[in-house]
């Protein structure tokens, strides 16, 4: 199978047109740190866009950055850091978890919807992508959205490519909104609190004006973790507010809160284990019940209970199906983030959709990629 390297958008156009002619699908990769996420792909040509890299423009005062799709996140973070800014969606790296460590790219993070603890305060990946350029399955380069923070001109296709696993088009350039980086953060912890009380406390803080940037529950130590950020004076005030809300509990300051939350977002605890790794998205108030109903002891919750990370016994199909139906019954859904190819083929990375919605997913995908050239089957068997 061929490995095609692209450096410019025109290279992508050429590759897609050739793929159309030959009716040969393409696996699209940047630095390849997330190739193991999604349903496994049949052997096919690889379109390697890692050369489509570099920051195109960054205007701190406009809160807007444009970069070529395969620009490493680290490069963007460093550029933003110089101007006291950051990516609001807290890009997390799943490469180590998936056994393919390396540098995550902007396009990969956008396509796989990788956002960490900060999401709670600043929003998800899709809330920060303002526009993009890409090549569709017709072999046409096109753009969508804009390069300003407020825009309602035409369909908001920029949101649609977030989390689409590269099944709609090949991204070549992405414009994101950025946010000021808080001066400092403090993480407070409560130990020995049962999940039900712990998640209730997290939700109480979530619905207060402190704008916490991390609200996690970790069974190890039966611990609640609360991160707040801001300038020193305002931090003091926020900590006092948290202490007032949690007055029934003993709060202590946690030393390396940022590293801890980064580990939660990247699934670090699973790097050395053999578990199948699931992320279950839930209405936050359903988290405690859900956690009480699963058989696994290896789990934690983030986003005030909006996401549970759960490790299940490897290749246990019955447990996987049980988790899926439990998630649906709780008003959420379960994504299989890490498993062997056979398991991913068997149960799918994404929960199957009800028929009318599945039909819409198929027709929307076909509107971008009618021949199924891009990562076919990676999201759903028929897509």
Q: Binding pattern to other proteins, positions 315-344, x when CB under 8 A?
A: ----------------xxx-x---------
Sheet holding 3-5, edge to edge: 3-5, 45-48, 26-29
Query: Shortest distance, CB of residue 22 to other proteins, whole angstroms?
Result: 22
301 is an interface residue for other proteins by CB under 8 A: no
361 is an interface residue for other proteins by CB under 8 A: yes
Query: Shortest distance, CB of residue 2 to other proteins, whole angstroms?
Result: 26
113 is an interface residue for other proteins by CB under 8 A: yes
- 46 or 80: whose CB is closer to other proteins? 80
Binder among 56, 179, 222, 245 for other proteins (CB under 8 A) = 179
Nearest to 339 by CA among 312, 318, 301: 312
Nearest to 89 by CA among 139, 51, 126: 126
Query: Shortest distance, CB of residue 249 to other proteins, whole angstroms?
Result: 20
How many residues sit in the footprint of other proteins (CB under 8 A)? 87
289 is an interface residue for other proteins by CB under 8 A: no
What SS3 string covers 312-379?
A: ECCCCHHHHHHHHHHHHHCCCEEEEEECCHHHHHHHCCCCCCCHHHHHHHHHHHHHHCCCCCECCCCC
- DSSP annotation of 72: B
241 is an interface residue for other proteins by CB under 8 A: yes
**Within 10 A of 369 (CB to CB), how many other CB atoms are there?**
23
Q: Binding pattern to other proteins, positions 58-97, x when CB under 8 A?
A: -xxxxxx------------------xxx------------
Tell which positions 256-285 bind other proteins, by CB under 8 A: 281-285
197 is an interface residue for other proteins by CB under 8 A: no
**Side-chain half-sphere CA neighbours of 272 within 13 A:** 2
Task: Give the range of 2-10, 32-40, 233-241, 291-299 binding other proteins by CB under 8 A.
Answer: 233-241
231 is an interface residue for other proteins by CB under 8 A: yes
- 49 or 114: whose CB is closer to other proteins? 114
17 is an interface residue for other proteins by CB under 8 A: no
In whole angstroms, give the CA distance from residue 129 to residue 1: 33
In whole angstroms, give the CA distance from residue 287 to residue 237: 29
Phi-psi category of residue 304: left, alpha or beta, with phi > 0 → left and psi -120 to 50 → alpha: left
Task: Give the range of 21-29, 39-47, 259-267, 301-309 binding other proteins by CB under 8 A.
Answer: 301-309
How distant, in Å, are the alpha carbons of 44, 122, 239, 371 from that of 233?
Answer: 56, 21, 10, 57
Tell which positions 131-170 bind other proteins, by CB under 8 A: 136, 140-144, 146-157, 159-160, 162-164, 168
Query: Shortest distance, CB of residue 367 to other proteins, whole angstroms?
Result: 4
Query: Shortest distance, CB of residue 313 to other proteins, whole angstroms?
Result: 24
Query: Shortest distance, CB of residue 50 to other proteins, whole angstroms?
Result: 25
Query: Shortest distance, CB of residue 125 to other proteins, whole angstroms?
Result: 10
**Token pair listed for 245:** 């809300």
Nearest to 191 by CA among 163, 149, 219, 155: 219
**Within 10 A of 59 (CB to CB), how many other CB atoms are there?**
12
């Amino acid at each position: 199978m061929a490995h095609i390297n692209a450096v410019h958008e025109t290279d992508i156009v050429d590759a897609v047109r050739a793929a159309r002619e030959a009716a040969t699908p393409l696996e699209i990769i940047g630095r390849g740190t997330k190739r193991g996420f999604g349903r496994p792909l049949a052997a096919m040509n690889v379109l390697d866009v890692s050369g489509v890299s570099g920051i195109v423009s960054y205007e701190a005062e406009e809160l807007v950055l444009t970069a070529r799709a395969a620009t490493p996140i680290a490069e963007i973070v460093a550029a933003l850091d110089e101007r006291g800014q950051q990516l609001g969606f807290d890009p997390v790296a799943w490469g180590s978890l998936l056994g393919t460590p390396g540098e995550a790219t902007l396009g990969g993070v956008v396509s796989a919807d990788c956002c960490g603890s900060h999401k709670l305060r600043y929003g998800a990946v899709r809330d920060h992508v303002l526009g993009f350029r890409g090549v569709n399955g017709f072999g046409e380069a096109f753009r969508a959205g804009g390069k300003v923070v407020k825009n309602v001109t035409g369909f908001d296709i920029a949101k649609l490519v977030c989390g689409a696993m590269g099944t709609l088009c090949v991204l070549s350039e992405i414009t994101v909104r950025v946010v000021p980086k808080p001066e400092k953060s403090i993480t407070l912890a409560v130990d020995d609190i049962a999940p039900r009380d712990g998640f209730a406390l997290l939700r109480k803080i979530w619905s207060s004006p402190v704008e916490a940037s991390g609200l996690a529950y970790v069974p190890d130590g039966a611990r609640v973790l609360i991160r707040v950020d801001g300038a020193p004076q305002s931090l003091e005030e926020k900590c006092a507010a948290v202490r007032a809300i949690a007055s029934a509990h003993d709060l202590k300051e946690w030393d390396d809160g940022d590293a801890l939350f980064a580990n939660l977002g990247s699934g670090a605890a699973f790097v050395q284990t053999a578990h199948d790794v699931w992320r279950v998205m839930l209405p936050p108030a359903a988290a405690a019940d859900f956690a009480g109903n699963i058989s696994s002891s290896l789990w934690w919750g983030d986003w005030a209970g909006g996401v549970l990370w759960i490790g299940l016994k490897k290749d246990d199909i019955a447990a996987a199906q049980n988790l899926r139906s439990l998630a649906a019954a709780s008003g959420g859904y379960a994504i299989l983030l890490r498993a062997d190819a056979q398991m991913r083929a068997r149960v799918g990375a994404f929960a199957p959709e009800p028929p009318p919605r599945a039909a819409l997913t198929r027709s929307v995908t076909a509107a971008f990629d009618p021949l199924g050239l891009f990562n076919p089957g990676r999201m759903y068997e028929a897509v």
